[in-house]
Amino acid sequence: MIKTNNLTKIYRTDEVETVALNNVNVEVTKGEFVAVMGPSGCGKSTLLNVIGLLDNPTNGEFYFNTQEVSKYTERMRTNLRKSNIGFIFQSFNLIDELTVYENVELPLLYIKMSSAERKKRVNEILDRMKIAHRAKHFPQQLSGGQQQRVAVARAVVTTPKLILADEPTVNLDSANGEELMDMLTQLNEEGTTIMMVTHSPTFAEYAHRTIQLFDGHIVTENIKKEFHL
Amino acid sequence: MFLNYLKVALRNLLRKKFYSTINILGLAIGLTCTILIGLFVQNELSFDKHHENYKKIYRLESHFTIQESDDFFAATAFPLGPALKLEFPQDVEEYCRFLTMDNNLFQIDDKKIFEDNVYYADSTLTTLFTHKFIAGTPNGALNDPNEMILTESFARRIFGDEDPIGKVLDTGYGLGFTITGVIEDVPYDSHLRFEAVGSMITLENYFGKDRYHSLESGAFWNISFYSYIMLTETGNIQNVLDGYPAFNEKYIKPVGEQINSKFQLMVQPLADVHLHSDLGYDLPTGNIAYVHTFSIVALFLLLIGCINYMNMATAQSANRATEVGIRKVVGAQKSYLRSQFLMESLILTFLALLLAFIATELFLPAFNEIADRHLSFNIAENLNFFLGIVGIALIVGIVSGSYPAFYLSSFIPVEVLKGKLGKSKGTLRKILVLLQFSISIIMIVGTFTVIQQLNFLKNKDLGFNKENVVVLTMRDTTGIKNINAFQDELLKHSQILKAGTSSSIPGQGYGILVHRYETLDGTMAEKEINFVFVDNDYIDVMDMKIIKGRNYDPELTTDLEESIIINEACANVLGWGNDPIGKKLGFAADLDGTANRDTRVIGVIKDFHYNSLHNKVDPILLLLSERPLRNISLRVRQENIENTINYIKGKWNEFCPTFPFDYTFLDEDLNEQYIAEQKIGRVFTYFSIMCIFIACLGLFGLAAYTAEQRTKEISIRKVMGASVSSIVLILSREFTIWVLLANIIAWPLAYLALKKWLENFAYAVNISIFTFVCAGIVALVIALVTVSFRAIKAALTNPAEALKYE
């Protein structure tokens, strides 16, 4: 599903040049659950952003479903992203001015789904995430765990093929963290490919495979679980 | 999707009450002022357009060239209209002339009503102009002598609820008019407004049939009529102008050659008369410059409101960044986001517009009072205007929303979601504030100068003492005959110090005639010069200063025939310089009763402003009259003025019982000349206060934003030991620089604009640098007070709170 060849990302400011990714080669198969680990500033989030089509690499090739997308324009990336990729952030990133229901509905608006279909889909997903009773609440009225469930609901409401999670458990207590991991595992078992950045070795255990990044390089890859197509 | 935008926009508005209030209030004030100014401008531009034929109607005007000096008049000669109709039948369908009816005292039974606004007009009045008849019919309403049409309100004043048709109305001169029609009041937006018109043909009896219908050349040289022509369906005014040279040759030139003068026909479309006329003998007109000025002011007000929105919206961008990031991550294209932010500014603008409509309803009566108008805002009747305002609001919404829309939609999600907001230097915001304050300073300088000029006009030494002069005008012929006895009676009162009579009073306009005068080499030349008749006492009553020679001497009977007093300007223009006494000066043309006087200059009077200060003092002659003159000027003591007036009234009723007693104070009469400026000045002041207020709202918001943005910096400084005052200083310094820079932009623009405005006055205040400095200081103080409010609050915040949050 994902394949990168010598993926490189360099950030330039007037005085400093920072190499965030240095010739990274990653391959993620459809249905896989991959954890990305490494110290702060090693390039984990950059990798996730490039794979999530939020950012273009400076060099190298990036295949998404066999399409080479590293030179896509913003508009093309947005189009590809909105129906294929769901994001979960550590700080939940819900829109404060929208209710739980409206936050979850948002991605469906941008893929121009009909209103009836949207309603059905949002309610289904809210039920599934056990947050339906909070549909009319605003994010500030929810606990951290509930907010992250809303964020997951928003990420999966378009049934994306790939979910990218950037340290999704950091702002959660351990019980809520485990609950989230169970949710991700369940989505993965249903066929969604998942790539998750984490600092926690415990939560990395949930993945099939862990990639260790250091200074923009992949240093090790260890397979925790057998994964078969 | 639209619903989603709407929801977010409204929730954002409610959540950010402070910024929303600043934005909506600023835009609402701007839009309210725009609507008011719009109504004013619309009214100015609509003059005379209610006449169905207005596009075909032209006013005839006169351009005289006498002795190489040009004069332009709104009035024309009696036969001009008929002759044009006769000579250009293909183009000129009809003409209509108006002549002011003097001394109109209307009497019915015991009731006496005096009315100034009365004209004689041709029966074609109803052919050219559109007047709605309430009683009687337009056809033939003025066909016969001694017929009259009244306006509805004038008819009511005289006849109450009775039907006036067929009734006979006496004027004070034994001249009776039969009422043949009542029309709706002449609308305010007409350059020629009247209360009554008598049939022009009435004058046939006075002139005699031959003279009334004469097209002889001499008749073309006496101008006292406002003439209008209406073109035929296929008519073209250019044909008339092209044919004019031949017309001139035939009708006008014969006498023109004799008196060494030329007459050139001028025409002006009816709808242009109000705003584009600047002629002698004209009716009160508007001024296109005010239309332009106020339109610019409206633009300024809206611009300042828009800038507030742009500044507030981009300043709050930090708060919206996450939202933009998320929307982009879940699939929003830039264009979606742009529409969303544009939608928000449109929603806000339309909320402001709603408020503006309400405010207009509330403030329109006050505005009418200040500007002396009769404006109304009725959407159904003025749909185009309403749509225009909605259009303007749309543009305002788009203009103010577009920059934030582009700015916000360009956020890069990866960065904003990490909380890294590209540190904008806010250069554009600074430029916008600079612009706002430039506009405000221009308005402040403008207001100061307008006030200064108005005070200058009020207080300028006019060359005579205008204070404590009571003016009476005798309209009654028997009264005028007894005027000397009347004056003697008045002077018996201890509070009445002096009395004198004249043919005209300052500010009222004077006669002009061609005079013969002695040149330096002793030969005689001709020149048009203003003149006024005075009696022996008038110069003394008015406190005019004789700077050379002497005043008229009642003991010297020869003064009447042989002497003349001139003003300084006259001595200079005729080239007599310092030695005018004894120079010869006489009438070139006949003047009834005083024909062919050959006089010598006995005195020179210090220039006095007999016209408004819009004009330079022209040469004028003060001629001694042997006949009683109708204007009596009384110098009175200020004390017990009421008692004095009562005494005058008592005597008036003895000597002049036919006419109701009426008096004015000279200083008040003179102030009337500047009433237009005073109104404009007042309106301008209010609008400029609004301008500054909106700009300050914006500045206040921006100061709040800056303080918010620099919370961390302020906290660290406080931790390091900075005092409250030093922090206020830091926050204010930046704004101080902007406001000071704004002066650099504002001063030259304000200078140019004011110089142009002051050119309207022959006598104007000097534009002083002091005014500019003052305006700069006022703007700075207002800005600093505004900013300090917020800066002090920021400086007083507990630094621990801020740093913890960071």
H or E element: which one contains B75? none
Residues 6+ apart with CB under 8 A from B244: B264, B265
Q: Which two tokens stand for residue B335?
A: 């264009």
Q: How many C-beta neighbours within 10 Å does residue B567 have?
A: 26
Q: What is the mean pLDDT of residues B266-290?
A: 86
Q: Which residue has the tokens 């203009």?
A: B399
pLDDT-based confidence at residue B681 (cuts at 50, 70, 90): confident
In whole angstroms, give the CA distance from residue B202 to residue B195. 18
Q: What is the mean pLDDT of residues B265-284?
A: 88
Residues 6+ apart with CB under 8 A from B630: B473, B474, B475, B480, B483, B501, B503
pLDDT-based confidence at residue B570 (cuts at 50, 70, 90): very high
pLDDT-based confidence at residue B395 (cuts at 50, 70, 90): very high
B414 touches A at CB < 8 Å: yes
B10 touches A at CB < 8 Å: no
In whole angstroms, give the CA distance from residue B571 to residue B601. 10
SS (H, E, C) B784-801: HHHHHHHHHHHHHCCHHH
Residues of A in contact with B322 (CB under 8 A): 93, 95
pLDDT-based confidence at residue A137 (cuts at 50, 70, 90): very high
| Identity at A212, one-letter amino acid code | Q
Q: Would you tell me which residues 70-99 of chain A have a C-beta closer than 8 angstroms to some C-beta of chain B? A: 74-75, 78-79, 81-83, 87, 89, 91, 93-98
Q: What is the mean pLDDT of residues B5-30?
A: 86
Handedness of CA B192, B194, B199, B202 (dihedral sign): negative
Residues of A in contact with B411 (CB under 8 A): none
Residues of A in contact with B414 (CB under 8 A): 49, 54-55
State residue B111's pLDDT score.
Answer: 78
State the average pLDDT for chain B.
Answer: 87
- Residue A133: DSSP 8-state: G
Predicted ipTM? 0.81
pLDDT-based confidence at residue B324 (cuts at 50, 70, 90): confident
List helix spans (H) across B46-131: 80-87, 125-128
- Residue B66: DSSP 8-state: E
H or E element: which one contains B355? helix B334-371
How wide is the angle at C-alpha B276 spanned by C-alphas B274 and B281, nearest 5°? 70
Contact B414 A49 (CB under 8 A): yes
State residue B802's pLDDT score.
Answer: 62
A12 touches B at CB < 8 Å: no
Q: Which of B266-280, B565-579, B725-739 has the lowest mean pLDDT?
A: B725-739
List helix spans (H) across B673-723: 675-709, 711-719
State residue B178's pLDDT score.
Answer: 94
Rg of chain B, C-alpha, whole Å: 34
B333 touches A at CB < 8 Å: yes
Instruction: Give the number of beta-carbon pairs within 8 Å between A and B.
Output: 68
DSSP 3-state of B103: coil
| Identity at B613, one-letter amino acid code | L
Burial group, residue B387, by CB count within 10 angstroms (0-12, 13-18, 19+): exposed
List pLDDT tens digits, range B161-194: 999 999 998 876 678 899 999 999 999 899 999 9
State residue B805's pLDDT score.
Answer: 47
List pLDDT tens digits, range B137-147: 888 889 999 99
Residue A82 has its nearest CB partner, among B15, B331, B418, at B331
DSSP 3-state of B151: strand
Q: What is the mean pLDDT of residues B10-17?
A: 84
Q: Which residue has the tokens 């590209």?
A: B422
Would you say residue B541 has pLDDT above 50? yes
Using CA coordinates, name the residue in chain A closest to B8. Answer: A97
Using CA coordinates, name the residue in chain B closest to A151. Answer: B326
Residues 6+ apart with CB under 8 A from B386: B379
A147 touches B at CB < 8 Å: no
Supply the DSSP string of A5-37, one letter for each residue.
EEEEEEEE-SS-EEEEEEEE--EE-TT-EEEEE
Mutation target for B interface from A49, A84, A101: give the one with most B CBs within 10 A.
A49
In whole angstroms, give the CA distance from residue B523 to residue B545. 30
pLDDT-based confidence at residue A226 (cuts at 50, 70, 90): low
The minimum CA-CA distance between B345 and chain A, rounded to whole Å, is 17
Residue B329 has its nearest CB partner, among A83, A87, A102, at A87
Contact A93 B322 (CB under 8 A): yes
List pLDDT tens digits, range B462-493: 899 999 999 998 877 777 888 889 999 999 99
Contact A107 B12 (CB under 8 A): no
The minimum CA-CA distance between A48 and chain B, rounded to whole Å, is 10
Mutation target for A interface from B10, B17, B330: give the one with most A CBs within 10 A.
B330
Polymer length in residues for chain B: 806
Using CA coordinates, name the residue in chain B closest to A118. Answer: B1
Would you say residue A147 has pLDDT above 60? yes
Residues of A in contact with B323 (CB under 8 A): 95-97
In whole angstroms, give the CA distance from residue A28 to residue A229. 12
Mutation target for A interface from B3, B15, B16, B329: give the one with most A CBs within 10 A.
B329
Contact A81 B11 (CB under 8 A): no
State residue B534's pLDDT score.
Answer: 93
Contact B329 A102 (CB under 8 A): no
| Identity at B75, one-letter amino acid code | A
A106 touches B at CB < 8 Å: yes
Decide if A193 contacts A224 (C-beta within 8 A): no
| Identity at A176, one-letter amino acid code | N
Residue A98 has its nearest CB partner, among B8, B331, B412, at B8
State residue B80's pLDDT score.
Answer: 95
A102 touches B at CB < 8 Å: yes
Residue B414 has its nearest CB partner, among A54, A93, A94, at A54
Nearest to A90 by CA among A7, A200, A192, A212: A200
Using CA coordinates, name the residue in chain A closest to B321. Answer: A95
State residue B254's pLDDT score.
Answer: 87
Decide if B754 contacts B449 (C-beta within 8 A): yes
The minimum CA-CA distance between A225 and chain B, rounded to whole Å, is 31
In whole angstroms, give the CA distance from residue B377 to residue B211. 50
Using CA coordinates, name the residue in chain B closest to A50. Answer: B414
Residue B336 has its nearest CB partner, among A95, A98, A110, at A110
Q: How many C-beta neighbours within 10 Å does residue B395 have?
A: 13
What does DSSP say about strands A33-37 and B176-183: parallel, antiparallel, or unpaired? Answer: unpaired
In whole angstroms, give the CA distance from residue B259 to residue B789. 75
A141 touches B at CB < 8 Å: no
Contact B15 A97 (CB under 8 A): yes
State residue B511's pLDDT score.
Answer: 74
The minimum CA-CA distance between B424 and chain A, rounded to whole Å, is 15
List pLDDT tens digits, range B251-262: 998 888 887 788
Q: Which two tokens stand for residue B133?
A: 């008849």
Q: Would you tell me which residues 156-185 of chain A have a C-beta closer than 8 angstroms to some C-beta of chain B? A: none
In whole angstroms, give the CA distance from residue B548 to residue B525. 23
H or E element: which one contains A114? none
Q: What is the mean pLDDT of residues B283-295?
A: 84
- Between the alpha carbon of residue B310 and those of residues B26, B219, B431, the distances in Å are 12, 67, 12
Residues of A in contact with B12 (CB under 8 A): 97
List pLDDT tens digits, range B107-130: 877 777 888 899 999 999 999 999
The percentage of residues in chain B with a pLDDT greater than 70, rounded to a whole number, is 96
In whole angstroms, give the CA distance from residue B109 to residue A118. 86
Nearest to B544 by CA among B610, B497, B471, B495: B610
pLDDT-based confidence at residue B592 (cuts at 50, 70, 90): very low
Would you say residue B509 has pLDDT above 90? no
B798 touches A at CB < 8 Å: no
